[in-house]
Structure 1
Amino acid sequence: MERRSGIAMIEDGFWRRKRLDEMSTEEWESLCDGCGKCCLVKLEDEETGEVAYTDVACRLLDLGTCRCSAYADRQAHVPDCIALDPGAVDRLPWMPPSCAYRLLHEGRDLPAWHPLVSGDPSSVHRAGASARGRIVSERSVGESELEDHVVSWPSARMRTRRRRAVPC
């Protein structure tokens, strides 16, 4: 495993050669760019099933780093927290369009600001692709106030490249 600018590079470009279900646990975990968007409280319209993002983050999300403060045992603290795996990507249409798991599932490449591409864990924040600076903790928002916190920015699709099939 090589290191580049503080990020462990498991196998340079592994995400271009492997399907999600072929990745090791370390590779899988490294796909998370640390944007924090999946940790935002979402509201579902009971009639249409449409999902709306809020700018309210899970109480475990560190608002500065956009990382879970209790990742290893998060489900003990937040029982409905989703444990993401390759099979779940297809069943979670609310995943942000810029999410690496979703992008790769859709046959797209990672954006230039993704830490695996840039080699810099803070590139996601500098690119404006994270929730940092735009969110509040659910500890400070009552459930009756959630509708006042609906935002559209997490669902905006960032520009990403489509991958080309390369002949063997």
Structure 2
Amino acid sequence: MSAPLRDPPPAAEPFWRTKTLDAMSDAEWESLCDGCGRCCLIKLEDEDSGRVHYTDVGCVLLDGEACRCRDYPARQDKVPDCVRLTPSTVRELGWLPPTCAYRLVREGRELYWWHPLVSGDAATVHAAGVSVRGRLSGTEDEMSIDELPERVVRWPTRVPARARARR
């Protein structure tokens, strides 16, 4: 007599849907970063309104091709004003890009199709037009403070059309 047919067990939900930011392991936390580099753009804050404006200028440690920090372990030693993302800072920061997985998880929203945790491919963040690759005018050590207001851009605060498309 053969065993009765059974439905396969339901697939486990991905950790970002079942865990809070605080409950994630270090590896899970780090894997939420999609590698877009948007948070590593130099930002200017309007002193009167408090509004934050992104520039197309990268942090001195931002690799504009790889869209990653050149010295992630020592970034805060080399760039003292580098903001370390933690569950606490993610809850407080208003300037995280709308595509940022930390922000999306905080808000209880789904990750986009191009996020490496969803697509299984680290290159989809670039293919979707979300990353800073090919969009930087330079790094902060190549620009004067006076040049930064001329480098203000809006694209880091937007979701590209091809990134919104369902795949």
- TM bucket (normalised to shorter chain) is 0.7 to 0.9
What's the CA shift for 1:12? 6.8
C-alpha separation in 1, matches of 2:28 and 2:65: 24
What's 1:144 paired with? 146
Higher strand share: 1
| Structure-2 residue corresponding to 1:107 | 108
Tell me the residue number matched to 1:6.
none
* TM-score, normalised relative to structure 2: 0.86
Equivalent pair of 1:113/1:127 in contact (CA under 8 Å): yes
2:8 match = none
For structure 2, the 5+ residue unaligned runs are 1-11
Q: Which runs of 5+ in 1 are unaligned?
A: 1-10, 162-168
Partner of 2:128: 127
RMSD: 1.6
Kept in 2, the 8 Å contact 1:20–1:28? The answer is yes
Larger Rg: 2
Runs of 4+ in 1 over 6 A off after TM superposition: none
The answer on whether the counterparts of 2:130 and 2:159 sit within 8 Å (CA) in structure 1 is no
Structure 1 pair 80–160 and aligned structure 2 pair: CA distance change class (3 A): farther
8 A contact 2:45–2:53 mirrored in 1: yes
Q: Deviation at 1:139?
A: 2.2
2:54 aligns to what SS in structure 1? strand
| TM-score (structure 1 length as normaliser) | 0.86
Aligned length: 151
